[in-house]
Amino acid sequence: MAAYEGYVDVKYKPHKDDLICRFYMEPKYGTPFERAASAVAAESSIGTWTDISTNKAYMKRLAAHVFHMDPHSGYIDVAYPLDAFEKRNVPQMLSSVAGNIFGMREVSNLRLYDIQFPKKMLEWYDGPHFGIAGVRKLLKVKKRPLVGTIVKPKMGLNPRDHAKVAYDAWVGGCDVVKDDENLTGQKFNPFEKRFLTTIKARDRAEKVTGERKMYMVNVTAPGKEMLRRAKFVHDNGGEYMMVDILTVGWSALEDLHDFNHKLKLVVHEHRAMHAALTRNPKHGIAMLPIAKLTRMIGFDQLHAGTIVGKMVGGTEEVTEVVSALEKPVTPAEGFALGQDWHGIKPTFAVASGGVYPGHVPAIVDKLGMDVIVQMGGGIHGHPGGTVAGAKAARAAVEAVAEGIDLRSSKSAELQQALDHWSGVKF
């Protein structure tokens, strides 16, 4: 194969062991669509920009193939042979299919829209330890959506006040309480002291309510420290941890999952920084492949978007992500490739970001009952305070689960919440 030519073959039938990527592509002005598509496949596999003397015939089996392209929609499908990838090495795989290609002169815009993993690659991983069913069993909540909150303000509280916010949320009706993405182990709220203080508050809340309660402490840190924190959680009565998946990186996530085989903690994933990759609809990496990667590596909960709320993300985007996280087989809808998960457990979708109790019906309507409805300001901003806010959130979830209109609920706290945020436009 010469330079960037020869990587388009619309007669190619993908092998069952091929990894398939779908890209949205806009060629640079004046560059033929097929030339740009071929360049993407070449640069992400065995090609380069000019003829070289070091090519060998045996390398051709590692070449990527553009087997489908549509200049009108801008989408191309590229098949990569499994032997192009190192076993259990997501960083290497992404360096291939999402590496140099975004900076190539042949394209003005390029977006990795979806990835379909072959069965053999999925066999390298064991998926989530708990999944949806395991989390529900741990919390003893069978059907309704789970109710969660984030301790707010997201940083600045000392350990005692942090634990008090968590306690109030649990007593009011929250199932789970988590740290926010930028609270780890700062001097004003050290990791160990915060965890121990908040776990004591969890235990008190369980005695008061008779319900299981969970605390997701943020273990995000450089590699060894992150693993040390995970073990500290396990050794001191914790059952959950959370991690900022993109800022710690894919290799750290693989290490954390493997380390967690010994601990068996539920892992909640925060997608902080994702919009730097996902927000531009024409360039970067969509949330869909990120979600699929986290399910494959093996994490139990992931922020998936809300459709409503303060974060961007439309119905099609968010429902595709939730489908990829939660369904045994994702049907090919729209531009999604689909994915047979071959027994890998589903990951719980988390709806979070500018959510208040009045959003619950829309969230459940679009995402179903298997969702964790997580409200931060939508609980702590309640006129009656955190306990009242949690009561309102729980009442909203229970009303929707029972098919009752929110305005028909007898919860005074819920009615207050609906009145208080009646002017919210997102």
For 286-310, write each residue's pLDDT tens digit. Answer: 999 999 999 999 999 999 988 876 6
Enter the DSSP assignment of 277. H
In a domain, 12, yes or no: no
* pLDDT for 414 beyond 80: yes
Helix (H), strand (E) at residue 342: none
CB-CB contact of 142 with 315 (8 Å): no
In this prediction, residues 44-53 reach a mean pLDDT of: 88
Q: Classify the phi-psi angles of 156: left when phi > 0, otherwise alpha if psi is within -120 to 50, otherwise beta.
A: left
Residues 108 and 147 both lie in one domain: no
Of 318, 264, 319, 326, the closest CA to residue 294 belongs to 326
DSSP string, 1-59: --TT-S-B-TT----TT-EEEEEEEEEPTTS-HHHHHHHHHHHTTT--SS--TT--GGG
Q: Are residues 107 and 200 in the same domain?
A: no
Last residue of a domain, one of 63, 87, 122: 122
Bridge partner residues of 16 (DSSP): none
67 shares a domain with 161: no
Alpha-carbon distance of 312 to 308, in angstroms, equals 8
For residue 77, the domain's CATH number is 3.30.70.150
Residues 225 and 148 in one domain: yes
Looking at 94, 122, 150, the residue that finishes a domain is: 122
In a domain, 242, yes or no: yes
Q: Is residue 426 part of a domain?
A: no
| CA–CA separation, 143 and 279 (whole Å) | 33
Q: Write down the residue that tokens 């709320």 correspond to.
A: 309
Confidence of residue 2 (pLDDT cuts 50, 70, 90): low
Q: Is 349 helix (H, G, I), strand (E, B) or coil?
A: strand
Among the candidates 122, 156, 184, a domain finishes at 122
Domain range for residue 70? 19-122
Q: Is 108 helix (H, G, I), strand (E, B) or coil?
A: strand
Where does 266-405 have alpha helices with state H? 275-278, 287-297, 315-326, 360-367, 377-380, 386-401
Nearest-angstrom CA–CA distance, 91 and 141: 36
Q: Please pick, among 270, 292, 380, 382, the residue that the annotation labels catalytic.
A: 270
Residue 78 contacts residue 66 (beta carbons within 8 Å): yes
10 assigned to some structural domain? no
Query: Is 260 in the same domain as 386?
Result: yes
Residue 410, burial from CB neighbour count under 10 angstroms (0-12, 13-18, 19+): exposed
CA distance linking residue 337 with residue 228, whole number of Å = 38
Q: Is residue 1 part of a domain?
A: no
Answer yes or no: 143 catalytic. no
Q: In this predicted model, what pLDDT tens digit does every residue of 133-166 receive, in sequence order? A: 999 999 999 999 999 999 999 999 999 999 999 9
Predicted pLDDT of residue 219: 98
DSSP assigned state of 85: S
Domain of residue 242, CATH code: 3.20.20.110
For the chain, give the mean pLDDT. 94
Residue 5 to residue 47: CA distance in whole angstroms:
9
The pLDDT of residue 27: 97
pLDDT tens per residue, range 351-385: 988 899 999 999 999 999 999 999 999 999 999 99
Does 160 lie in the same domain as 112? Answer: no
Tens of pLDDT, residues 247-286: 999 999 999 999 999 999 999 999 999 999 999 999 999 9
CA–CA distances in Å: residue 151 to residues 115, 178, 262 = 34, 6, 28
283 counts as catalytic: no
Same domain, 116 and 175: no
Pull the structure tokens for residue 152. Answer: 């707010």
Mind listing the pLDDT tens digit for each residue in 86-119? 999 999 999 999 999 999 999 999 999 999 999 9
**What's the token pair of residue 263?**
């601990």
44 and 156 together in one domain:
no
Tokens of 162: 């942090």
Instruction: Identify the active-site residue in 152, 274, 345, 380.
Output: 152
| Contact predicate 386/392, CB 8 Å | no
221 & 329 share domain: yes
Residue 159 and residue 211 in one domain:
yes
What pLDDT digit, counting tens, does each position of 328-356 carry?
655 555 557 889 999 999 999 999 888 99
Name the pairing type of β-strands 75-80 and 19-27: antiparallel
Angle between helices 223-235 and 191-209 (to 10 degrees): 30
Q: Considering only CA atoms, which of 383, 336, 376, 342 is closest in space to residue 359?
A: 376
* 26 and 147 share one domain: no
Number of compact structural domains in the chain: 2
